[in-house]
Amino acid sequence: MKLTIIGSGKMGGAMAKRLLEAGKIGVNDLVITNRSGKIPQALSGIPGLVMGTDNRAACADSDYILLAVLPQQYEQVLSDVTASAREGACLISIAPGYSIARLTERTEGRFPVIRAMANTPAVIGEGMIAVCENPSVPEDKFREAKELLSVLGRTEVIREEQLNAVIGISGSAPAYFYVFLDALADAGVLGGLHRDQAIRFAEQTMLGCARLAVQGGEHPAVLRDMVCSPAGTTIEAVARLEAGGFRGTVIEAARAAMDKAANMGKK
């Protein structure tokens, strides 16, 4: 299998690195392009890695082409792919705003299109990856593309109309979690901890809570109740969060991301 990754930033770089590390692809079967032609830090020191700036040459011989550029760069890149990739090569897109229909139309219906969404924990293989159903993609191609994406983390197949919700609650959500983590660390400093100590306590708590939720499978409300003893310290804090509109603010924030993604698709 030959793979081209267009874009070597956070997502393209992570995908290349993790595929090579996992032995899912050999360095001779992978071509990566960016604008500068420079090997990014994440990929430095990999012997034999080919890096280019010519998207057309990079696509000509590929079975899979992953578009890992920002949506603003899509039009140029899609022209390059349409002009050079061979019929039947499979396109994988991880951008908001470009639906399967739009990508198919834009590439003159020449390629099966896989639409997916990742998030930044993908850099360490801990991402949450949504892959959209597309009955037009041959089953073996869909399976293979999903397997490629699984090096970035946990994958789940969804309907395309659910993708904007995924953008709101996992694609964009690392930023919300980091705002919360940083704020909690601030509170630790306020309470007398050193900054690095406060960050350590807050981040291990976040990690432990995520693991407990995933492994235990309990509803978040049950896990919250486990911490809230009657007339205790935690319920005081939870009451303050509710009074500050924390829950509503989180929902509205995620909805803003979903709306933005939906509007990008209308342009």
Q: How far is the CB of 32 from ligand NAP (least distance, A)?
A: 9
φ/ψ of residue 101, rounded to 5? -65, -45
**CB of 137 or CB of 163, closer to ligand NAP:** 163
For the chain, how many residues are written? 267
Q: How far apart are CA 43 and CA 136, in angstroms?
A: 34
Q: How far is the CB of 124 from ligand NAP (least distance, A)?
A: 13
Classify 47 as helix, strand or coil: coil
Q: How far is the CB of 240 from ligand NAP (least distance, A)?
A: 31
**CB of 168 or CB of 171, closer to ligand NAP:** 171
**CB of 118 or CB of 198, closer to ligand NAP:** 118
Q: Which pair of structure tokens corresponds to residue 196?
A: 């690095």
* Residue least distant from ligand NAP (Cβ): 9
Classify 111 as helix, strand or coil: coil
**CB of 10 or CB of 200, closer to ligand NAP:** 10
**CB of 85 or CB of 94, closer to ligand NAP:** 94
Classify 236 as helix, strand or coil: helix
Residues that bind ligand NAP (CB under 6 A): 6-12, 33-36, 55, 68-71, 73, 76-77, 94-96, 117-120, 171
Q: How far is the CB of 115 from ligand NAP (least distance, A)?
A: 11
Classify 241 as helix, strand or coil: helix
Strand ranges for 72-207 from DSSP E: 90-93, 113-117, 127-132, 153-158
φ/ψ of residue 108, rounded to 5? 60, 30
Q: How far is the CB of 57 from ligand NAP (least distance, A)?
A: 12
